[in-house]
A and B are shown apart, each in its own frame.
Chain A
Amino acid sequence: MDADSKRKFQLLIGFTVFALAVTMSYFSVTEVENSPRDIYLVIDVSGSMADQSKITFAKNAATEFVNAFQLDKSLDYRIGLISFEVQVNTLAKLTDDPSGLKDAISSLYANGDTAMGDAIRTADNLFSQETGSDTSKTVLLLTDGVSNTGMNPITAAQNAKDNGLTIFTVAYGNDADIGTLNQIAKMTGGKFYKALSGQDLVATFANIADVMISPAAHYGSRTLILIAIPILLFIPIIERGVFTMIHKAEETFLDKKRSPGRPTCSKCGTFNLTTSKFCQKCGNSLRGRI
């Protein structure tokens, strides 16, 4: 095989390895079986939410979110609604009735400070009263500001985590406390999102609904790709290693085949089928039985 053909052959093997990894990766992406999930929408209705029709977009996003779950067709999900400003109000307990929820969403109005920690604690308490141990407990927390009253949100999130809650957080606009929201999402196994505009917010809620309805595990497939790339690129080294191993195995096999009793030249290693004490090829003395 000439050098150019060899290079092309290596490239072909490389692409085959990569294609194999991608195929295996496709099959290792697992759609996690939908387990029952209870969700509390925890929405900030502090005074700042009245600016730039933020509360209107929040209502639209929450409505779209409820629509995505098709509560009237599915037995797997229940959704509740909590609003918070200085006070925390449970506007709808966990329910599978979409019309009741939408009524509660439309009643949201903006006023007061931001008690984020208290809102998380309220959701946590409600889950402990209403949700069984076999059901996933999820909070979707939306805020446009910084927690400035009530319980520390990180402490509330830590307690919620201990009780098995997952918190997805959405920072709305430029003034939201991104650091705290990100930390809450990370520590509870949720995800942090940022929505700069009202349209972003609606899209973000729809995206979160997608993630909750059909979570996909992709880390196994990512590992496959990570291993495949160095293998693909270092094929010449692997090839050389394989050939060396084959060569050594051949030599070991031949050595074993050479019977110690058969006369072999001590210098050139040639077998001698002769009664002479010397090698027919080089004239050196033979070892082994003659």
Chain B
Amino acid sequence: MTKRSAKEILTNIPLFLGGIFMIYLAAADETLFNFILGNTIQNQLTVALATTVAAAVPMFFAVGMIKQSIVSGLYTIYYYEKMLQGSIFWILSIILLIITAAIIVIEGVHQFNIPILAGCGVLSMYLIIYTIKIRKK
């Protein structure tokens, strides 16, 4: 393994872990889902919409992070690729993480959602640094 590829892997590890964290938010975490449903009337339509938002939005960002970290050679659709190259994708990810963290704080922090809150905090800080680097380039 060359020094350069080793450095690239090390650079990409946080982004990959961020992608895994986002997949967890999309697949298993109920924060967004409960928040949406808690503020609307519960019926089949609102449950479907809350599910769509709670699963699709974090998954959208998870795919981007994993793509940029370990499978950067694979092409996604043109407009998504453009988003990934700019800083807007990363800014939107940070906004999503901050919203999730804010919901947790508003609804109440307890031992089961502390890891999610910590994950949101750490990942958003990393993404802020990452975005600044992209903008400098």
Contact = CB atoms under 8 A, between A and B. Distances in A.
Interface of A: 7, 10-11, 14, 18, 22, 25-26, 29, 31, 171, 178-179, 182, 186, 192, 194, 196, 207, 210-211, 214, 216, 218, 221-222, 225-226, 228-230, 232-237
Central interface residue in B45, B75, B110, by most chain A CB within 10 Å = B110
Interface in B71-109: 74-80, 107-108
A91 to B, nearest CB: 29
Central interface residue in B50, B51, B54, B75, by most chain A CB within 10 Å = B51
A26 B80 contact: no
Interface in B13-47: 26-27, 33, 38, 42-45, 47
Contact of A186 (B38, B60, B74, B112): B112
A22 B54 contact: no
A266 to B, nearest CB: 38
Contacts of B33: 218
B124 to A, nearest CB: 21
6 contacts: A10-B78, A178-B108, A179-B110, A222-B54, A225-B56, A228-B56
Given A232-B77, A236-B75, 16 more contacts: A7-B77, A11-B77, A26-B44, A178-B111, A182-B110, A211-B42, A216-B42, A218-B47, A221-B52, A225-B59, A226-B55, A229-B56, A229-B63, A233-B77, A235-B77, A236-B76
B122 interface: no
A29 B48 contact: yes
Given A171-B108, A182-B112, A210-B42, A221 B51 contact: yes
A233 B111 CA distance: 35
Central interface residue in A29, A194, A228, by most chain B CB within 10 Å = A29
Contact of B77 (A171, A196, A236): A236
Given A194-B108, A226-B27, A11 B79 contact: yes
A177 B111 CA distance: 11
B54 to A, nearest CB: 7
A158 to B, nearest CB: 18
Nearest to A30: B44
Contacts, number: 95
Contacts of B111: 178-179, 182
Contacts of B51: 25, 29, 218, 221-222, 225
B42 A196 contact: no
Contacts of B80: 233
Central interface residue in A214, A229, A233, A237, by most chain B CB within 10 Å = A233
Contacts of B75: 236-237
A182 to B, nearest CB: 5
Contacts of A225: 51-52, 55-56, 59
Contacts of B43: 214
Contacts of A232: 77
A229 B64 CA distance: 11
A192 B55 CA distance: 21
Contacts of B42: 210-211, 214, 216
Given A178-B108, A222-B55, A230 B77 contact: no
B38 A31 contact: no
Given A216-B42, A230-B63, A29 B47 contact: yes
A178 B63 contact: no
